[in-house]
Amino acid sequence: MADAATQELTLKDFQSDQEVRWCPGCGDYAILKAVQSVFPSLGVPKERFVVVSGIGCSSRFPYYMDTFGFHTIHGRAPAVATGLKTSRPDLEVWVVTGDGDAMSIGGNHLIHVLRRNVGVKILMFNNRIYGLTKGQYSPTSEVGKRTASTPLGSIDNPFNPLTLALGAGATFVARGVDIFVPQLKALLERAAAHPGAAYVEIYQNCNIFNDGAFTYVTDKEARKSQVLSLEHGQPLVYDEGRKGLVLDGFSFKVVDLEAGEATLDDLVVWDETDRTLAWLAANLLPPDFPTPIGVLRAVEEPRYETQVVAQIEAQRKKLGDGSLEDLLYRGDLWTVGEDGKVSEGRGAGAGSHGSGSSAG
């Protein structure tokens, strides 16, 4: 019998015994199946996976994964994941969050986990609506969105999740679509292989409160004409080879290859290490431009958790192992006697270590 750490895993090994309870037709089902399909292929022992979530429909994810997991509070999943990955760098920590959970109350935590380049993998389900709380507009809802909380239409400019991640300095930024399963699996594999913080925005359809939000991408004909697949080292071409993108100053420009406006040699060659190109691609918006799907940025930079461990090890070599007691009784100390009088001492051990002592 194979050792538990080395035996071949399958999709079923990552399916929990909990009934999956999302609305029928929800895009979360496809994402769950993609994750459960990819995890066995990563060559990682099952007990090293941890799935951390916040609050929202997507955040039920840990219940349905037969791994270690933590269903935290609203917006705090990145903070919990940071603490876990820093204390246990050997674990594969995945964060599952939504556009409301991540872009609103959790926005501050999100930008800092990306800024620090903590080696966690963040899957941000973007359905442009608050689904769990019954259809209020979210930070990614488009201007004019009519919901229960914006009956006259939203007047907020929405967040662009990709530019937010790039602006925070994320070392891996990608976009996938719930029903583009083969491509989504490939993105999950790339994210898993990335040593630092990996951020994947996933267009996810909420068929109850925001059905069809991404039909301009997911419709069968739209896939052919409106999706720009980003492939490192390949020219930016789409619409089945009929159109492409060139640089026009500091912006992209669409050219018609069939009409002879440019040749393949004139097109921008995609470079996922170029932060400027990533920024330009993240700002491509319909209907004037195609929607980029794939890896926008992938670079390696020092990871937060490895630097923290290195600091601790360096200090240990310099000073040796300490103790919690030495830490607590280090510095200025005051001792409260039985008569209520306070005596002051200085330095470790200066005051009583018994009942009634307090350290300042």
pLDDT tens digits for range 305-332:
999 999 989 988 888 877 778 777 777 7
Q: Which of 222, 252, 269 is the last residue of a domain?
A: 269
Residues 243 and 341 in one domain: no
- Run of H or E residues at 115: helix 107-115
3 belongs to a structural domain: no
Distance CA 39, CA 330 (A): 46
Residues 240 and 227 in one domain: no
Q: What is the pTM of this model?
A: 0.88
Distance CA 199, CA 24 (A): 27
314 belongs to a structural domain: no
138 belongs to a structural domain: yes
Residues 118 and 198 in one domain: yes
Range of 241's domain? 235-269
Residues 135 and 261 in one domain: no
pLDDT tens sequence across 101-123: 999 999 999 999 999 999 999 99
N-to-C CA span, the chain? 58
Distance CA 54, CA 243 (A): 41
| Per-residue confidence (pLDDT) for residue 346, from 0 to 100 | 52
- The answer, yes or no, to whether the previous bond of 182 is cis (omega within 30 of 0) is no
Given a cut of 70, is residue 1 above it in pLDDT? Answer: no
| Per-residue confidence (pLDDT) for residue 345, from 0 to 100 | 61
User: Between these two residues, 192 and 357, which has the higher pLDDT value?
Assistant: 192
Residues 277 and 132 in one domain: yes
Contact 219, 225 (CB under 8 A): no
The closest alpha carbon to 347, from 360, 330, 335, belongs to 330
Tokens of 81: 């994941």
Residues 108 and 171 in one domain: yes
Residues 52 and 129 in one domain: yes
Question: Which residues face 229 on adjacent strands?
Answer: 293
Residues 241 and 202 in one domain: no
The closest alpha carbon to 60, from 109, 106, 14, 21, belongs to 21
Distance CA 329, CA 359 (A): 7
Residues 225 and 343 in one domain: no
Work out how many domains the chain is built from and give that number.
3
80 belongs to a structural domain: yes
Given a cut of 90, is residue 351 above it in pLDDT? Answer: no
| Per-residue confidence (pLDDT) for residue 85, from 0 to 100 | 98
313 belongs to a structural domain: no
312 belongs to a structural domain: no
The stretch 127-149 carries a mean pLDDT of: 94
Contact 260, 195 (CB under 8 A): no
Residues 58 and 171 in one domain: yes
54 belongs to a structural domain: yes
Residues 120 and 195 in one domain: yes
Classify residue 266 by burial, with Cβ atoms within 10 Å: 0-12, 13-18, 19+. Answer: middle
The stretch 58-63 carries a mean pLDDT of: 96
Residues 23 and 98 in one domain: yes
Distance CA 59, CA 78 (A): 12
**Across the chain, what does the average pLDDT equal?**
92
